Amino acid sequence: MSDNIEVRHNGSARRYEIEIDGKLAVAEYALEGGRQVFTHTLVPPELRGKGLAEKLVRRALEDARAANRKVVPACSYVAVFIQRNKEFAGLVDG
């Protein structure tokens, strides 16, 4: 998979997106005060195994860090990603 995949932040829909061949992979979140609650990560079956979820979540967490937000990994994928990528552990609220 190419490294030049574009991750878009769709703030009005409260999600990060990657679109490939008309199919959409997303990492969704809600804002609660100063916290960013990651609620769902979805990659369509035909796009799985290409590292898209990792790209979405990494970008979302980098943006949360830049905005000085704490994060709540309500989505199991985000929780596991943070466990495996300790550089983001300090963002977790609680």
Query: Tens digits of per-residue pLDDT, 36-92?
Result: 999 999 999 999 999 999 999 999 999 999 999 999 999 999 999 999 999 999 999
Class of domain 26-91: alpha beta
Dihedral angle computed from the Cα positions of residues 13, 85, 90 and 18, in that order, rounded to the nearest 10 degrees: -10
Query: Tens digits of per-residue pLDDT, 5-28?
Result: 999 999 999 999 999 999 999 999
Q: Report the predicted TM-score, pTM, of the whole model to 2 decimal places.
A: 0.93
- Selection from 17, 5, 63, 14 nearest residue 43 by Cα: 17
